[in-house]
């Protein structure tokens, strides 16, 4: 047999194993990304090979593609309760956040102050830190043990020099939902612009931009069952917007570059489906989430829910299991083909805990042993049963190996002081 035949057999074997893994996978990491809805795939496929014209072309072949782009704008606008002219397509949440923040600052060059929170996504936090090196002043609002903001701290931070307040709608790790409209009212009184990163909230919380205080809002397709690499930015009509990407006149000159038509069509279809299923899906996800959460905290000792128990996304639970590492839990879950994520944002060679959980002031034992389960409309009762069947034994096994079995351990007390003393 030739080496070529051996290689072909190897590829077939890998494909079979991957298909088996995919078939058996229990995916509870939907705040990281979601499965693309089959109806979304069906909608976008013709725009790769059948309708491949440039949407800006004058001829009919390109014009029909342009109509598809406009339809997608209408679909996204409907999900947000906005007008289609207020929708700009982007490559995703990170670009949307960057474009909104930079546009707000360019529109008000005389103002040099930004307000955000300690628990934002890196797309916002890292940009704000970079802007500090360019002479901007940034206030990072603190959160309490439940991950909620103190609106008095926000009010005290607003000045005549504040150009922008940029705050997420819902936290990606804990699911805690901020009182966005209450925040917006205070921001409007100050004369600053208000940007909201709603990547985790869109499709889970009903929105109506027509009555909202939000000036700009970011969303990402791959969090609502559309592909990766496509997103949208809502910009309220009348808000001065200076584009971040300069080039042609696409999207009314607000975002240059030929549109990712297949991605745009996919996002439009996904938005249509999210709006269609929103009420039913969120109720079902909340019920499954609550069952998972309540069973875990009643059957496994020394664990607690992180975040606001009432003001949070319906699909998200973040649970801290004391005295063990979240990464170890994930490895054991992975052996059962269960996908979740850790509350610790660990990099290679480091066990630095999540900046979100640190900002909440959680104990060291909770910081490192936190796991996020995030559901979607495809999550089933059987999948929740499977997680509940294995989690108690995983935690028990890991705790039996752990040297940290008491909050009174001197080493733990030292670590807790060290961790909570950094970046506070």
**What span, in angstroms and rounded, lies between the C-alpha atoms of 36 and 31?**
14
**Residue 398 has which token pair?**
């890991």
What is the sign of the dihedral through the CA atoms of 206, 208, 212 and 214?
positive
**Residue 4 has which token pair?**
């070529």
Which domains, ranges and CATH numbers included, belong to the chain?
39-274 (3.40.640.10), 279-420 (3.90.1150.10)
User: How far apart are the two ends of the chain, measured CA to CA in Å?
Assistant: 64
**What span, in angstroms and rounded, lies between the C-alpha atoms of 110 and 105?**
9
**Residue 309 has which token pair?**
């128990």
- Residue 410: per-residue pLDDT: 54
- Residue 4: per-residue pLDDT: 55
Q: Which residues are catalytic?
A: 346
What b/e string do you get for 210-219 counting C-beta neighbours within 10 Å, with b at 16 or more? Answer: eebbbbbbbb
One pLDDT digit (tens) per residue for the chain, 424 residues: 555 555 555 555 455 445 545 568 999 999 999 999 999 999 999 999 999 999 999 999 999 999 999 999 999 999 999 999 999 999 999 999 999 999 999 999 999 999 999 999 999 999 999 999 999 999 999 999 999 999 999 999 999 999 999 999 999 999 999 999 999 999 999 999 999 999 999 999 999 999 999 999 999 999 999 999 999 999 999 999 999 999 999 999 999 999 999 999 999 999 999 999 999 999 999 999 999 999 999 999 999 999 999 999 999 999 999 999 999 999 999 999 999 998 543 333 445 789 999 999 999 889 999 999 999 999 999 999 999 999 999 999 999 998 876 655 555 555 555 555 543 3
What angle do helix axes 60-80 and 261-299 make, rounded to 10 degrees? 30
Measured in whole angstroms, the distance separating CA 197 from the mean position of its chain's CA atoms is: 9
Please write down the HEC assignment for all residues of the chain. Answer: CCHHHHHHHHHHHHHHHHHHHHHHCEECECCCCCCCCHHHHHHHCHHHHCCCCCCCCCCHHHHHHHHHHHHHHHHHHHHHCCCHHHEEEECCHHHHHHHHHHHHHHHCCCCCEEEEECCCCHHHHHHHHHHHCCCCEEEEECECCCCCECHHHHHHHCCCCEEEEEEECECCCCCEECCHHHHHHHHHHHCCEEEEECCCCECCECCCCCCCCCCEEEEEHHHCCCCCCCEEEEECCCCCCCCCCCCCCHHHHCCCCCCCHHHHHHHHHHHHHHHHHHHHHHHHHHHHHHHHHHHHHHHCCCEEEECCCCCECCCEEEEEECCCCHHHHHHHHHHCCEECEECCCCCCCCCCCCHHHHHCCCCHHHHHCEEEEECCCCCCHHHHHHHHHHHHHHHHHHHHHCCCCCCCCHHHHHHHHHHHCCCC
């Amino acid at each position: 047999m030739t080496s070529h035949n051996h290689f072909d057999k190897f590829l077939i074997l890998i494909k079979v194993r991957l298909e088996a893994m995919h078939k058996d996978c229990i995916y509870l990491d939907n705040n990281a990304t979601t499965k693309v809805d089959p109806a979304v795939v069906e909608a976008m496929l013709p725009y790769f090979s059948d309708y491949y014209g440039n949407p800006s072309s004058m001829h009919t072949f390109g014009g029909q593609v342009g109509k598809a782009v406009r339809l997608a704008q209408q679909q996204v606008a409907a999900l947000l309760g906005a007008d289609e002219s207020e929708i700009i397509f982007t490559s995703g949440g990170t670009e949307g956040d960057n474009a909104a923040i930079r546009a707000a600052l360019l529109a008000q060059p005389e103002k040099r102050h930004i307000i955000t929170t300690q628990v934002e996504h890196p797309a916002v936090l890292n940009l704000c830190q970079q802007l500090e090196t360019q002479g901007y002043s940034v206030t990072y609002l603190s959160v309490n043990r439940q991950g909620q903001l103190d609106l008095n701290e926000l009010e005290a931070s607003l000045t005549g020099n504040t150009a922008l307040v940029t705050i997420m709608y819902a936290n990606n790790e804990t699911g805690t939902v901020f009182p966005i409209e209450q925040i917006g009212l205070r921001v409007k009184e100050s004369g600053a612009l208000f940007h909201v990163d709603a990547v985790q909230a869109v499709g889970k919380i009903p929105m109506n931009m027509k009555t909202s205080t939000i000036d700009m809002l970011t969303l990402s397709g791959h969090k609502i069952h559309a592909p990766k690499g496509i997103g949208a930015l809502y910009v309220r009509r009348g808000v001065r917007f200076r584009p971040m990407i300069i080039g042609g006149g696409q999207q009314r000159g607000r975002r240059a570059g030929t549109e990712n038509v297949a991605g745009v069509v996919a996002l439009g279809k996904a938005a249509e489906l999210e709006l269609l299923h929103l009420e039913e899906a969120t109720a079902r996800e909340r019920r499954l989430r609550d069952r998972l959460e309540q069973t875990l905290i009643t059957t496994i000792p020394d664990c607690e829910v992180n975040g606001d128990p009432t003001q949070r996304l319906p699909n998200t639970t973040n649970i801290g299991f004391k005295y063990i590492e979240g990464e170890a839990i994930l490895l054991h879950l992975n052996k059962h083909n269960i996908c979740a994520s850790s509350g610790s944002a660990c990099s290679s060679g480091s066990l630095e805990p999540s900046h979100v959980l640190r900002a909440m002031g959680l104990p060291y034992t909770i910081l490192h042993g936190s796991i996020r389960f995030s559901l979607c409309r495809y999550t089933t009762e059987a999948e929740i049963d499977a997680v509940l069947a294995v989690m108690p034994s995983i935690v028990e096994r890991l705790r039996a190996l752990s040297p940290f079995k008491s909050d009174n351990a001197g080493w733990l007390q030292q670590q807790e002081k060290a961790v909570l003393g950094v970046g506070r």
